[in-house]
Structure 1
């Protein structure tokens, strides 16, 4: 049920328009699916989905958001209204704990029964599902994308989701009996930690799990989540002071610093790995993007120091962070998402999300000029974009959701190996299996003589994997994590873990997932398999009943709309949550203005996309962008490959 505390009241006319839009497209979709509709009809159909999803698929899971969380106190500084706080507090000043660290993840769906959640973790055995339905048999490339697209989504997910896990030895681990090609007697997995502030591990309606990250789009994966982490990333070891003008520390060779052990102490598990805000599951792709956007932050700082001389050192840092965050949000909205969902209606709809239809057709400048003449609501959102509208939570306090986390399980994007080539002539410099460029070995190509430009070029001209059944990378199905503080090495089949996490956290299985999105459930194994008899037979043998098919498996099997890189089922969650990440955040709505960002900052955002970020720091890569419309599409190869 919608809570009036978290929504702006709609006028009578807007309610009539919303109701009519939903009713009309419900009828149309009985005969024609939305992605088969022409032009603006398809865009209008997406708007109708979003109206309906906002009404039915936002559920409040948290408690009193006016009081601080024990582990995440409110920021005391006088400048709080003009900055993103380290823990994510005080974004909404009426509910200052909303979206902060250790707040609960929300829900787009209701579990069928709280007592059933987690009771069927091993049915069917996730290791069997991994071997038979997920394991990559032969690499299937996504030929419309480049490998930066795969690195990018992991880079962003690390900003959004990080469930709290039980500490080693804490709680009862999940024991998965050996099955398929798993060699050990069991696979042991630490459980997701239930919200310890709740007296019952499952609250009355929802499994209660907390996000260890701030839930806002705040680039915490770069900046960290505490004042101490931010200070460490801004500290210059050469001067013994914070870097000037609010900059992050980049060494003379152009790299982020590395973790070092204390003098005289034995090496820590993370010694030698890159320092940044969040570095779990580190590999070369993350090394590239964390370094690139740390440099972008520094470039913004230098410009603000010159163009906005009234700002102090700390204010420069805070404004640069806001600007850098907005650049990333814009790139994700108008470049990455249309890149992986290459459908004409998607490009128009997402441009409209950021700059409105006016901005899509005539440029952001005109959209900003006319925004003040439009009433707030869906009309303003559509015509001039979310950043020029007012904040609205649409009836439930803002939180990222378990289902949103679920549909971002996109590990098939990761290839088995990466070929590094010279950006000038295309000559192969090295071919690396993924384990050779992961964790502490992420910089190995640079030690072997490659430059950062070579690495970026190689990602831009290589393909990720397609998000489909039987395309999950093999090395992730036998992943050995770096040793923990006690020296213990954890080995996991990550495909099986993905299945287990959805079951453990109460994400409905595939058919129920579709029902709660008001989509037609799958009625036969042939329909689920897309007419592939061998796959249909295997699915039936493993699951027995259609309603037992795991959501991730169903989405990977699902036939895709033309131009789509992932399923229409997953896309319904994106329709709702992608705009919500913007619409609920005052720094992307009410406070997306000159007084907060500075005029210099707003102009920087307007002129910047992924191509501009890359070429600002690596101008020698300009030839690779010739004829490339989207920076996440394959780039032009050079030299001997031409």
Structure 2
């Protein structure tokens, strides 16, 4: 296995960029952190971590530091060895034939709830934010993706002729005589930086007090007017508030302000930020008032960080089927730096994102006026027998709308995230993210495609090919497309497709059968499928697109892999996650299992960081603990052991006409009598 390259480049100043994985698209961002901050000393004895990550590793103070280059596991892969993107199939062409879900949703085969993508994105905003714009605000170089207006599988209007794409800003001193490198603007630790930020100036604004820059005037509590996150207008002057990504929000004072600039992207992310701001203040209230404001703040911050780490390693990762070696203590020889491969390939999980959140709560929480306001924002709201049943879509009206958390209320929203399973972690991405149509001006339409962007970003960052990356992570190369997907054939065998041009036939994406989590036949209308069989195998489509396994883009091959038993990942993605999350644990001097301050806080004040996410929701929202699942990372009311279908030899077993005409447009699919049933062992949790 290749060692991580530890070359570092420190970046200072203000810049803008876009986040890597678990995000909803490119965003203008600011603020490379000041790397000169240092940790505090609490209660006269215990050191606390710095905001930027500097000095966490005392032998290598810049490991994990904000504003440094993403380290690499494998050598960079550029066509000229320096920075030119490698040539490959058109990313939009690949997206239409590999990532196209045709409107049919397949859900987690382990019944993992939507908390998988919500927590995943929250963590992403804690440890990764690529530099996408220069200090002057200028974008990176353009590398737009051409769009074929005559593609028979592309049904979305795009008369711009391209998908917009900007390359990441290269680190200074790279890309000329040596390989181009990219910059992570925030610290590479699970350190709650999404709550507290990575700069003293942002944190000063977030804490109660006059925000005059004097640490002695800062309160222990976070600023939360009415127990909600502060808005940019909360201190009176919008212009002096920290930068927040505003999106389509027209009111410059409306966005909430948190430690991370991306918190307004969607209401679920906003809700998690609210939860931990409340949790910080709850802990402060439990500490003796005789203690200094700074000590109370730092103790609460240390506990919140430990809680996020505890939830990540004891609930989130196990729910995803990620098992790590037993913790052996802090290892100063481990670099926690978020690798380029993890940020650019392994942690891109846009497939998981549901297009809606279901909310069920007491109708008495809402006035008639509020219900009408929610309906006007695009929510479906039904009231019956004293209960309110809502469906919150991820749509234009609900994105970058911080009012939603206050209107829906924090408890019901956090509860709702755990009600339904997330969309399966596979090669399929919903059109909400894969073919979002926008209008620049009347009659001029473009499309955003995150699948195409994910492919192009890998080439932008010089990510090796799929097989090269497997080797870098200690895995054997794949020699056939069938061996990637685990399917029975990589040839087009279905009747009814255009001979010799099957890859461009929309019917190749038609579903012939759907199965639920128990291996039983189901339909599109039931909206509970975890497995689908199409007229063509994924392996056949990959072969038609790439020709050779050795030419497959790493991201495409990774998500195409058959999942390992007891996991939501194939071999490569699981290896990437294991390596990175082990490093984030083992290389963090302040990891919860290595930080004696936390033991003292428990003994002296009765405050224990070892709480589940469900516990924290109950403590900070008034939701009864019994109303939440014991483990909210599993869809509420489901069993954690189940049978699920394995790959069936049924790609062309049934005519779509028998199934109700299921085609690339996403019409209904019914069960087939001829497709073979299949089962696998019980999932390990």
Using the size of structure 2 for normalisation, the TM-score is: 0.69
1:421 corresponds in structure 2 to: 360
Q: Please state how far the C-alpha of 1:82 moved relative to its aligned partner.
A: 1.6
1:368 corresponds in structure 2 to: none
1:460 corresponds in structure 2 to: 418
1:616 corresponds in structure 2 to: 619
1:194 corresponds in structure 2 to: 170
Are 2:411 and 2:622, in contact at CA under 8 Å, matched by a contact in 1? no
2:632 corresponds in structure 1 to: 631
1:140 corresponds in structure 2 to: 106
Match of 1:283 among 266, 274, 277: 266
Residues 156, 85 of structure 1: alpha-carbon distance in 2 compared, 3 angstrom cutoff: same
**Per-residue deviation, residues 385-418 of structure 1 (Å, max 9, x unmatched):** xxxx343224xx4421111212110111111222
Match of 2:570 among 567, 576, 585: 567
2:331 corresponds in structure 1 to: 391
Match of 1:62 among 8, 25, 36: 8
Separation (CA, whole Å) in 2 of partners of 1:636 and 1:473: 26
Residues 210, 203 of structure 1: alpha-carbon distance in 2 compared, 3 angstrom cutoff: farther
Separation (CA, whole Å) in 2 of partners of 1:506 and 1:611: 40
Where 1:604 maps in the other structure, the secondary structure is: coil
Separation (CA, whole Å) in 2 of partners of 1:139 and 1:420: 19
Separation (CA, whole Å) in 1 of partners of 2:238 and 2:5: 51
Are 1:117 and 1:207, in contact at CA under 8 Å, matched by a contact in 2? yes
Q: Please state how far the C-alpha of 1:631 moved relative to its aligned partner.
A: 2.5
Match of 1:433 among 393, 417, 439: 393
Q: Please state how far the C-alpha of 1:319 moved relative to its aligned partner.
A: 2.1
1:127 corresponds in structure 2 to: 92
Moved more, 164-173 or 296-305: 164-173
2:254 corresponds in structure 1 to: 272
Match of 2:221 among 247, 265, 268: 247
List aligned pairs for 1:271-350, cutoff 5 A.
271-280=253-262, 282-305=265-288, 309=290, 311-341=291-321, 346=323, 349=324
Match of 1:108 among 61, 67, 73: 73
Separation (CA, whole Å) in 1 of partners of 2:473 and 2:554: 13
Separation (CA, whole Å) in 2 of partners of 1:469 and 1:275: 34
Residues 113, 121 of structure 1: alpha-carbon distance in 2 compared, 3 angstrom cutoff: closer
1:527 corresponds in structure 2 to: 483
Are 2:425 and 2:568, in contact at CA under 8 Å, matched by a contact in 1? yes
Where 1:538 maps in the other structure, the secondary structure is: helix
Where 1:246 maps in the other structure, the secondary structure is: coil
Where 1:165 maps in the other structure, the secondary structure is: strand
The reply to whether residue 477 of structure 1 matches residue 437 of structure 2 is no
**Per-residue deviation, residues 451-487 of structure 1 (Å, max 9, x unmatched):** 32211221111121101122x121222458999xxxx
Q: Please state how far the C-alpha of 1:619 moved relative to its aligned partner.
A: 4.2
Separation (CA, whole Å) in 2 of partners of 1:478 and 1:573: 28
1:166 corresponds in structure 2 to: 133
List aligned pairs for 1:512-551, cutoff 5 A.
512-531=468-487, 533=489, 534=536, 535-551=538-554
Q: Please state which structure has a larger fraction of its residues in strand.
A: 2
Residues 147, 297 of structure 1: alpha-carbon distance in 2 compared, 3 angstrom cutoff: same
Where 1:153 maps in the other structure, the secondary structure is: helix
Separation (CA, whole Å) in 2 of partners of 1:231 and 1:501: 35
Residues 71, 517 of structure 1: alpha-carbon distance in 2 compared, 3 angstrom cutoff: closer
What RMSD in Å do the two structures reach over aligned CA positions? 3.6
Where 2:203 maps in the other structure, the secondary structure is: helix
Residues 327, 78 of structure 1: alpha-carbon distance in 2 compared, 3 angstrom cutoff: closer
Separation (CA, whole Å) in 1 of partners of 2:176 and 2:162: 27
1:258 corresponds in structure 2 to: 231
Where 1:418 maps in the other structure, the secondary structure is: strand
Are 2:70 and 2:340, in contact at CA under 8 Å, matched by a contact in 1? yes
The reply to whether residue 402 of structure 1 matches residue 340 of structure 2 is yes
Separation (CA, whole Å) in 2 of partners of 1:71 and 1:237: 22
**Per-residue deviation, residues 98-150 of structure 1 (Å, max 9, x unmatched):** 32221111111123567346544552111112221113221111151111221
The reply to whether residue 501 of structure 1 matches residue 461 of structure 2 is no
Q: Please state how far the C-alpha of 1:293 moved relative to its aligned partner.
A: 0.9
Q: Please state how far the C-alpha of 1:607 moved relative to its aligned partner.
A: 3.4
Q: Please state how far the C-alpha of 1:212 moved relative to its aligned partner.
A: 0.6
Residues 237, 564 of structure 1: alpha-carbon distance in 2 compared, 3 angstrom cutoff: same
Unaligned runs of 5+ in 2: 12-30, 240-245, 364-384, 490-535, 639-685
Q: Please state how far the C-alpha of 1:436 moved relative to its aligned partner.
A: 4.6
Q: Please state how far the C-alpha of 1:87 moved relative to its aligned partner.
A: 2.1
The reply to whether residue 72 of structure 1 matches residue 34 of structure 2 is yes
Match of 1:220 among 193, 203, 206: 193
Moved more, 150-159 or 256-265: 256-265
Are 1:390 and 1:589, in contact at CA under 8 Å, matched by a contact in 2? no
**Per-residue deviation, residues 185-239 of structure 1 (Å, max 9, x unmatched):** 112222101112x2x32664x5321111112221111111211111211146899
Are 1:436 and 1:442, in contact at CA under 8 Å, matched by a contact in 2? no
Separation (CA, whole Å) in 2 of partners of 1:478 and 1:72: 38
Where 1:422 maps in the other structure, the secondary structure is: strand
Where 2:421 maps in the other structure, the secondary structure is: coil
Q: Please state which structure has a larger fraction of its residues in helix.
A: 1
The reply to whether residue 82 of structure 1 matches residue 62 of structure 2 is no
Are 1:202 and 1:208, in contact at CA under 8 Å, matched by a contact in 2? no
2:147 corresponds in structure 1 to: 178
Residues 481, 403 of structure 1: alpha-carbon distance in 2 compared, 3 angstrom cutoff: farther
Residues 77, 154 of structure 1: alpha-carbon distance in 2 compared, 3 angstrom cutoff: closer
Residues 421, 124 of structure 1: alpha-carbon distance in 2 compared, 3 angstrom cutoff: same
Residues 104, 598 of structure 1: alpha-carbon distance in 2 compared, 3 angstrom cutoff: same
Using the size of structure 1 for normalisation, the TM-score is: 0.73
